[in-house]
Amino acid sequence: MPSANTAASGRPNGFANRINLQQYVVYFGFLAIFLFFAIVLRDSGFLTVRNLSNIVLQTAPATIMAIGLVFVMSAGEIDLSIGSTVAVSALAAAVTMNDYGLVAGVLAGLGAGLLVGLLNGALVAYVKLPSFLVTLATLGLFAGVSRSMTDLRSIPVTNGTFTGFFGSGAFLGIPSLIWWTAIAVAIGHLIYRETRFGAHVLAVGDNSRAAGVSGISVPRIRLTVLMISGGLAGLAGLLYAGRLQAAKYTLGETDLMTVIAAVIVGGTLLNGGKGSIIGALVGSLMMGMLNNGLILMGLSVSDQMIVRGLIILAAVAVSLREKSR
Amino acid sequence: MRKEVTRLALLATMWATTSVYAADGVTTGPHGEKPTPAASVTLTAAEETQIKDGKFTAALVWHEMSEYTNAVNNGAQDEFKRLGIEVVAQTDAGFDAARQKADVETVLAKNPSIIVSLPVDPATAAVVYDPARTAGTKLAFVDNSPAGYVHGKDYVTIVSDDLFQMGNKAAIAMAHALGNKGKIGYIYHDADFYVTNQRDGAFKATIGQDYPDMQIVAEAGMADPARSEEIAQGMITQNPDLDGIYVTWAEPALSVLSSLRGAGNTHTKIVTLDLNEPAALDMVKGGNVAALVADEAYNIGVTVARAAAGSLVGKSSQPFLVVDSLAVTKDTVADGWKKSLNKDVPATIADALK
């Protein structure tokens, strides 16, 4: 990785400076967009505590999914199935909870996510199929499963403990969705940066053959990252079900592209070897802030989509330039 | 077996949600409301002045954007503008209830006096709109209202199509195209969605009750419009002698049209709901499409905006307001476009009419 070497050597040339800039592009981008909206929308409620906390709450499920995707992409893989895993998990939790209670419901939701991850992981790690194709197939497969599970009906979630814990409640005055985001980011970051597993994930993504030669079990890493992604998508499903007090097959359908954009803008390489959990968090908040600010600007829906697309394109272009190996 | 159980359950749901009209042949609201013509919503000059002086604002929180939503959106925008109400935000939930909840929360930052919306999932929509209800925002809905919400207290009104009339007019148009006899294929929306369920049910009921020489010989449910071509292929392959096919709305009808063209079939007529340029062009050129039944979508927007504005000065509205619908054929296409969408007929169709 010449770029990393150049940056590490600290030579005071323009190239190194640009590398540093690229590493932090998500933070600069976040700040720039925030300042722009703060000025333009100063009288339109953007800066109210309520609106800003709404952004964090609304992006919580996407942020949690993004953490899983950082692990997967750092290992050089991709998980497209998260879009439908969310719905399957939310529905599994809702249906099970209505019949067997809170704990069974939560276990069913998380279990469904882990099972999807296990299936993806086994096919990628042991059958040696490319993750792009495997998860593209399971994306469709589980979209179908979630539709047929309840005949397209939405299932109400009435358990107050569940909805409080996963969606609409608060602890020490802080909404539960913010707790979930903070805990998931903290644990994710710790594992990613401070453990041997995290280092192995990056090694596999950087050069899987070299990682294998050095004694890392490459299949085990691939299986594990896809299970982490599935499990976190399952957790995102629980959060949606808690927030909406209902589960439906459409949950998460529109999140996939947002999550991928958040992760890439946040500094994770599409082809592995480098990533950032904190960057993904900021990337996800940036996406949420964009949605929020463009609506508050009073733009028509079409104009919102065009502007959002252009800003994401710019952010991805800056963060990806020179990074690809 | 499972499929059969699924079908029965779905039919039961459809029957439960559509049984009322079958008895008396009128559209009923999602909660059994009696329909009132949209034209009943009027404002006096004094009320309009009071509204204009109020410096009110409105947000439009849509379920998804389509040609139909666009027309409703334009009607609402124009009426709000006429009444001096500023539209401060509009959103598109992409048919995702979670996103619609986020949209409601977001637009509330601008403290709108009114939110006009179409709930993605009425059964669970109370959670979506509760923040607005708590904030005292006037809620006015298109097509449906959240379960548990009370008319007059929690929301102003529901404005919708005359759904029975649409399905009924589609059946009459089909009979007209086939000379009151023939074999029909019926492609319905296979989802628990009140609007399409009522329209589809009304078509079927009208054929069954009023046209003894017309039989529905093939039925297929469509849950995902992207899959409609496969459904149409299957139906046409199994029943090459169909005289007509009813399709639940225009977008999947285009897939049926392309399947018929692919099979070299010029005999089978298509009747569907909503105006759509390619379908209308085929109709004007004497192709398979025989009629398009459209609602006065623009008028839905005007009505819901007017009712919501009236509520700000203490004027109440009936719980379920319906606009008229019209069957558009080759001869009436230009008028129909104007009435339904408040737009001139597209240039391609105008050219083909010459």
CB-based contact B109 A298, cutoff 8 Å: no
CATH of the domain at A271: 1.10.3470
Cβ-Cβ contacts under 8 Å, B128 against chain A: 244
Nearest-CA distance A105 → chain B (Å): 19
Residue B173 has pLDDT above 60, yes or no: yes
CB-based contact B97 A45, cutoff 8 Å: no
B246/B221 same-domain check: yes
CB-based contact B103 A46, cutoff 8 Å: no
For residue B10, being part of any structural domain is answered with no
CB-based contact B6 A248, cutoff 8 Å: no
Nearest-CA distance A316 → chain B (Å): 24
What are B345's two structure tokens? Answer: 């007929």
- Between A243, A295, A302, which is nearest B89 by CB? A295
Q: Contacts for A191-200 with beta carbons within 8 Å, 24 or more apart?
A: A192/A70, A192/A71, A192/A74, A192/A275, A192/A277, A193/A277, A197/A221, A197/A224
CB-based contact A243 B99, cutoff 8 Å: no
For residue B61, being part of any structural domain is answered with yes
Cβ-Cβ contacts under 8 Å, A295 against chain B: 89-91, 103, 106-107
For B99, which residue in chain A has the nearest alpha carbon?
A: A58
CB-based contact B101 A243, cutoff 8 Å: yes
For B192, which residue in chain A has the nearest alpha carbon?
A: A153
Average pLDDT over residues B47-52: 97
C-alpha B269/C-alpha B291 separation (Å) is: 9
For residue A120, being part of any structural domain is answered with yes
pLDDT at residue A19 in the model: 53
CA distances from B28 to A158, B142, B161, B195 (A): 29, 14, 10, 11
pLDDT at residue B318 in the model: 96
B219/B336 same-domain check: yes
B43/B98 same-domain check: yes
> What is the domain range of residue B87?
36-162+297-323
pLDDT at residue A4 in the model: 40
Residue B228 has pLDDT above 90, yes or no: no
For residue B11, being part of any structural domain is answered with no
What's the pLDDT band for B145 if we cut at 50, 70, 90?
very high
In DSSP notation, B241-289 reads T-SEEEESSHHHHHHHHHHHHHTT--S-EEEEES--HHHHHHHHTTSSE
B316/B207 same-domain check: no
CB-based contact B110 A243, cutoff 8 Å: no
CATH of the domain at B60: 3.40.50.2300
CA distances from B146 to A101, B140, B153, B269 (A): 26, 11, 13, 38
Helix, strand, coil percent content, chain A, rounded in steps of 5:
75, 0, 20
Burial B286-304, CB ≥16 within 10 A → b, else e: ebbbbbbbbbbbbbbbbbb
Interface test with B, best of A300, A304, A305, A307 (most B CBs within 10 A): A300
C-alpha B108/C-alpha B61 separation (Å) is: 11
For residue A16, being part of any structural domain is answered with no
Residue B12 has pLDDT above 80, yes or no: no
CB-based contact B121 A154, cutoff 8 Å: yes
**What is the count of residue pairs from A and B with beta carbons less than 8 Å apart?**
97
pLDDT at residue A197 in the model: 96
- Between A45, A147, A253, which is nearest B96 by CB? A253
pLDDT at residue B195 in the model: 83
For A51, which residue in chain B has the nearest alpha carbon?
A: B109
- Between B9, B106, B127, which is nearest A295 by CB? B106
- CA neighbor of B36 nearest in space, from B160, B200, B129: B160
Interface test with B, best of A151, A159, A251 (most B CBs within 10 A): A151
For B62, which residue in chain A has the nearest alpha carbon?
A: A301
B174/B120 same-domain check: no
For residue A13, being part of any structural domain is answered with no
For residue A11, being part of any structural domain is answered with no
For residue B291, being part of any structural domain is answered with yes
Cβ-Cβ contacts under 8 Å, B124 against chain A: 154, 156, 244-246, 248
CB-based contact B111 A300, cutoff 8 Å: no
Cβ-Cβ contacts under 8 Å, A152 against chain B: 190-192, 223
B41/B145 same-domain check: yes
B113/B97 same-domain check: yes
C-alpha B315/C-alpha B231 separation (Å) is: 48
CB-based contact B109 A154, cutoff 8 Å: no
pLDDT tens for the 325 residues of chain A, in order:
334 433 333 344 555 455 556 677 788 889 999 999 999 988 888 999 888 988 999 999 999 999 999 999 999 999 999 999 999 999 999 999 988 999 999 999 999 999 999 999 999 999 999 999 999 999 999 999 998 888 777 888 888 899 999 988 888 988 999 999 999 999 999 999 999 999 999 999 999 999 999 999 999 999 999 999 999 999 999 999 998 888 888 888 889 989 999 999 998 988 888 899 999 999 999 999 999 999 899 888 888 889 989 988 888 787 766 454 4
Cβ-Cβ contacts under 8 Å, A245 against chain B: 124, 127
Range scoring the smallest mean pLDDT among A56-60, A321-325, B99-103, B222-226:
A321-325
pLDDT at residue A321 in the model: 65
What's the pLDDT band for B77 if we cut at 50, 70, 90?
very high
Cβ-Cβ contacts under 8 Å, B98 against chain A: 61, 240, 243-244, 251
pLDDT at residue A21 in the model: 62
pLDDT in tens, B279-307: 999 999 999 999 999 999 999 999 999 99
- Between B97, B110, B111, which is nearest A244 by CB? B97
B247/B186 same-domain check: yes
> What is the domain range of residue A301?
2-6+23-320
Cβ-Cβ contacts under 8 Å, B10 against chain A: 151
B104/B116 same-domain check: yes
pLDDT at residue B61 in the model: 97
Nearest-CA distance B58 → chain A (Å): 11
For residue A229, being part of any structural domain is answered with yes
B306/B291 same-domain check: no
Our count of domains for chain B comes to 2
B231/B151 same-domain check: no
Our count of domains for chain A comes to 1
Name the percent of chain B lying above pLDDT 90. Answer: 71
pLDDT at residue B190 in the model: 87
Strand order in the sheet with B325-328: B214-222, B182-189, B244-247, B269-273, B289-295, B325-328
C-alpha A24/C-alpha B88 separation (Å) is: 34
Q: Tell me which amino acid residue A261 is.
A: A
For residue A202, being part of any structural domain is answered with yes
Q: Tell me which amino acid residue B247 is.
A: V
Average pLDDT over residues B138-143: 96
Nearest-CA distance B89 → chain A (Å): 4
For residue B20, being part of any structural domain is answered with no
For residue A15, being part of any structural domain is answered with no
C-alpha B107/C-alpha A279 separation (Å) is: 27
CB-based contact A301 B102, cutoff 8 Å: no
Length reported for chain B: 354
Place of tokens 């539709």: A147
Residue B30 has pLDDT above 70, yes or no: yes
What sign results for the dihedral spanned by CA atoms A36, A37, A38, A43? Answer: positive
B140/B265 same-domain check: no
CB-based contact A292 B110, cutoff 8 Å: no
pLDDT at residue A260 in the model: 94
